[in-house]
Amino acid sequence: MSETNKSRDGRMPKVWEALITLVALIALLAVGIIIFGAPVHVPMFCGVCVAALMALYLGYKWDVIEKMMMDGIYKALQSICILIIVGILIGVWINAGVVPTMIYYGLQIIHPSIFFIATVLVCSITSLATGTSWGTMGTMGVAFMGIGFGLGMSPAMTAGAILSGAYFGDKMSPLSDTTNLAPAMAGTDVIAHVKAMMIPTAITYVITLVVFGVLGAMQYHGGEADMSRVTEFANAMNAAHGGFFNINPILLLPPVIVIVAVAMKMPAIPGITLGIFSGAILGLIFQPGDCNLGTLFGFGLEGFTFTDAAKEALQSAVSAETYDTMIELLEKGGIMNMMNSVAMTIIAMMFGGIMEGTHQLEVVVNQIKKLAKGPAGLVAVTEVTCVISNMTMPEQYISIVVPGRMYAEEYRKMGLHPAVLSSALEGAGTVTSALIPWNTCGVYISDTLGIGVAQYGFFAIFNWLMPIINWLCAALGLTLKDLDNKPYKRQKAVKA
């Protein structure tokens, strides 16, 4: 072996060495976030430093470690591009009146007593049709946050309902990249994969709807709610009532265009970009006084802001509460406001690249494998590994790829159909990514919906309940299939 290859390979880490890196990361994040309330970026970077020092200790040269970090960042470049483009889309859509129009009509038809259920259902349909939870949250999610503000709903509950619907659709849609990635890693096809997910996903979804129905009924029983603030908020949007945007149903076309484009298998980046241009064109037509190429360029970069004159007029026209709500809701978007997420994604993937390149996560997972006693145990350790991957190599796709590669042979040896593995990968890897503040999904949600994991996490019912239900179904034998895709029987296990 050449000297170059020796320096590139380093040595395999021991379990305790890998644990030092993981524990250090968790401790740094806990101290930074919980004790000092600091943003996650610098504690995460300190974790990168620990991982790099451990890699040096394992015998890797710095240029090799640096390449690991760059490889990790490269895997998240698509996510970074989408973050930037969605930032432009939100800024342009608000300036063009698209988001205000979605909010205005939503306030007209959605009553508080059914708001949460309607949010879950609409986001589910959108995500099923497009196969993208990010696209759903960046379009319908932003609108529902606004509708929720207008109805006086809890922002945390609203975000939880948005996520539950968006991730249900992302998980079950054949158009979703994760729905195609999971069976590819497990060694099965998409149809078998979707069928394997149906029972646990349906159970989780029904429970989610019931819980949100109860939450809505408890807070707004009998549908009795003060709608005066809703009327004031809606009127503040509509220039016809002395508001600030020309509301027109044609302005609902851009989100429809995005949904149709992605549903027709147009990739996410050009599909969202099509939404930007269609929104900009309609904005120039319907908001001639406040929307022009200059504002579109400016708000696409910096995010939408009201002019000082508009703020003064708004303050004199509405209550202080409605004024604060409109400022909080509509002054957002833009590339620069997404830089928080972009920076977090880059730093997190630097850490993930080192962890994967030095095999530190692999040696920990190999120890976890030993805990698997029977099929249900194997499903459980797969899900735990997905969650750990989401925490330590914080990119949704990696939480599917790494465990998928690691456990495929274990499932075969136990005589289990690969769809059992792919179901576990999606049942934990895809959905729990939204529950990790420093995961690419967590930071995207925080910047897009304007609310953090600490607030919405408990109400993202579908996301945290899905892995539990998936394991219970496996433990009860409801989802276990043998290699012939028939009900699993232990004696059919394949010996190594």
**What's residue 494's pLDDT?**
47
**What's residue 309's pLDDT?**
86
**What's residue 409's pLDDT?**
80
In Å, what is the CA distance from 326 to each residue of 159, 244, 251, 302, 330? 17, 11, 19, 18, 6
- DSSP-derived secondary structure for 304-361: ----HHHHHHHHHHS-HHHHHHHHHHHS--STGGGHHHHHHHHHHHHHHHHHHHTTHH
Please state which of the ranges 228-242, 303-317, 429-443 shows the lowest mean pLDDT: 228-242
pLDDT over threshold 70, residue 491: no
Between 49 and 330, the higher pLDDT residue:
49
**What's residue 496's pLDDT?**
43
Q: 406-444 pLDDT, tens per residue?
A: 788 888 888 899 999 999 999 999 999 999 988 889 988
pLDDT over threshold 50, residue 490: yes
**What's residue 229's pLDDT?**
66
Exposed / middle / buried, residue 426 (Cβ in 10 Å: 0-12, 13-18, 19+): buried
And the tokens for 174? Answer: 């054949």
Exposed / middle / buried, residue 305 (Cβ in 10 Å: 0-12, 13-18, 19+): buried
pLDDT over threshold 50, residue 5: no
Give the angle subtended at the CA of 353 by the CAs of 408 and 356, to the nearest 5°: 35
Smallest CA-to-CA distance from 372 within 493, 464, 462 is with 493
pLDDT over threshold 80, residue 79: no
Q: 52-65 pLDDT, tens per residue?
A: 999 999 999 999 99
Smallest CA-to-CA distance from 152 within 238, 229, 234, 237 is with 229
Percent of the chain with pLDDT over 70: 93
Between 121 and 189, the higher pLDDT residue:
121
- The rounded distance, in Å, linking the Cα atoms of 459 and 165 is 12
Between 162 and 342, the higher pLDDT residue:
162
pLDDT over threshold 70, residue 227: no
Between 377 and 6, the higher pLDDT residue:
377
Q: Say which residue the tokens 């850490």 belong to.
A: 351
Q: 437-463 pLDDT, tens per residue?
A: 888 899 889 888 989 999 999 999 999
DSSP-derived letter for residue 154 is: -
Contact 87, 337 (CB under 8 A): yes
And the tokens for 182? Answer: 């999971």
Please state which of the ranges 56-60, 196-200, 327-331, 335-339 shows the lowest mean pLDDT: 327-331
Mean pLDDT of 363-375: 82
Give every CB contact of residue 114 below 8 A, 6+ residues apart in sequence. 216
pLDDT interval class at 3 (50, 70, 90): very low
Between 86 and 422, the higher pLDDT residue:
422
Smallest CA-to-CA distance from 175 within 270, 278, 261 is with 261
Between 248 and 240, the higher pLDDT residue:
248
**What's residue 390's pLDDT?**
87
Identity of residue 100: P
The mean predicted confidence, pLDDT, of the chain is 85
Identity of residue 341: S
Give the angle subtended at the CA of 178 by the CAs of 174 and 181, to the nearest 5°: 95
**What's residue 336's pLDDT?**
92
pLDDT interval class at 284 (50, 70, 90): very high
Contact 382, 403 (CB under 8 A): yes
C-alpha dihedral, 31 to 358 to 181 to 75, nearest 10°? 70
Predicted TM-score of the model (pTM): 0.74
Q: If DSSP states are collapsed to H, E and C, what string results for 397-453?
A: CHHHHHHHHHHHHHHHHCCECHHHHHHHHHHHHHHHHHHCCCCHHHHHHHHHHCCCH
Smallest CA-to-CA distance from 130 within 279, 266, 254, 276 is with 266
Between 94 and 268, the higher pLDDT residue:
94
